[in-house]
Structure 1
């Protein structure tokens, strides 16, 4: 499905484009995902719309098949990519959860700012991006997923999220379509 419209008060949330995540193998070239995210960042900043840069610095305390509790990531691992050209007006969120909403106050910040729609980009499709999209949808935000600015370590997980989960949570399309819609507002 293509994107039908962008709300007047849309925000861009870029998830986990940081040193540690882009160093891992991904389903799509990380450099291309970062380049598309940069295009979105520039377009949102030109229109003075809210930009949120979310990174992750560890894991929560729960036991999983992968670990026995909370982990801290090395300081260099969690650094946002310089290519994102972080600006003073950008909101930065550091978390230990999959979703950019969990425990960060993001929902309040967006609601108080009058934001009604979020555009999502980043990594990993089936973890941080999908979790954030699910929470945004559940909180009543209109959700847009920039499919060519998202990737995952697992191609099958990416495809499942992009083709089965995301259409139930919002609208999907390429960065070029989002930028065109921003220009039409």
Structure 2
């Protein structure tokens, strides 16, 4: 597995899950949604500056005429050139073009952040592992509905799938 300090921007993508107004506003643990968003925005800026893809994933409820208020990305998160994926299941690979779009760009490593750690993030990460991607998890760019749920993913599950890091540890390899 690639260490966080050795990321290749040509082969690494940032995947941010469900950073939507209504989800960021939920009571979350071990940190507030606004804290998750702050860390995620910092990572997104670093990835964009390095020329690495930023993938923004949001959920839409299937079979409803209108999505609930706050179902868009938090204002200011999306930038021109970002990859936007709309999922209709817990994870973002099933029934979406995510894998195809990543492979077309030569991406082999994914760095995850988002809400909820144990739901959308973990489900998407498990599918990514099954598809052969190398995985990194920015622990401080995630939260869940309870601290116990977040900790179970971060301490028990994610280390079996990849490497858990802090956002401040993420850097790209020199030239």
CA distance in 1, matches of 2:45, 2:81: 13
CA distance in 1, matches of 2:153, 2:174: 29
Q: Residue 122 of structure 1 is aligned with which of 114, 117, 120?
A: 114
**1:131-170 paired onto structure 2 within 5 Å:** 131-170=123-162
* Superimposed CA distance per residue, residues 102-126 of structure 1 (whole angstroms, 9 cap, x where no aligned partner): 1111111111110010111100001
CA distance in 2, matches of 1:46, 1:58: 33
Give the CA deviation at 1:31: 1.1
Q: After TM superposition, where is structure 1 displaced by more than 6 Å over at least 4 residues in a row?
A: none
* Superimposed CA distance per residue, residues 108-166 of structure 1 (whole angstroms, 9 cap, x where no aligned partner): 11111100101111000010000111111110010000000000012111100000000
Q: Residue 19 of structure 2 is aligned with which of 1, 5, 17?
A: 17
CA distance in 1, matches of 2:161, 2:174: 24
For structure 2, list consecutive stretches of 5 or more residues without a partner in the other structure. none
Give the CA deviation at 1:57: 1.3
Output the aligned Cα RMSD. 1.8
Aligned residue number for residue 103 of structure 2: 111
Give the CA deviation at 1:74: 3.0
Give the CA deviation at 1:83: 3.7
**1:23-34 paired onto structure 2 within 5 Å:** 23-27=25-29, 28-34=31-37
Question: Which one is further off, 117-126 or 86-95?
Answer: 86-95
TM-score (norm 1): 0.86
Change (3 A) 1:23 1:71: farther
The question of whether the paired residues in 2 share the 8 Å contact of 1:38 and 1:83 is answered with no
* Superimposed CA distance per residue, residues 35-64 of structure 1 (whole angstroms, 9 cap, x where no aligned partner): 0000000000001111110001116xxxxx
Aligned length: 171
For structure 1, list consecutive stretches of 5 or more residues without a partner in the other structure. 60-69
Give the CA deviation at 1:88: 1.7
The question of whether the paired residues in 1 share the 8 Å contact of 2:6 and 2:173 is answered with no
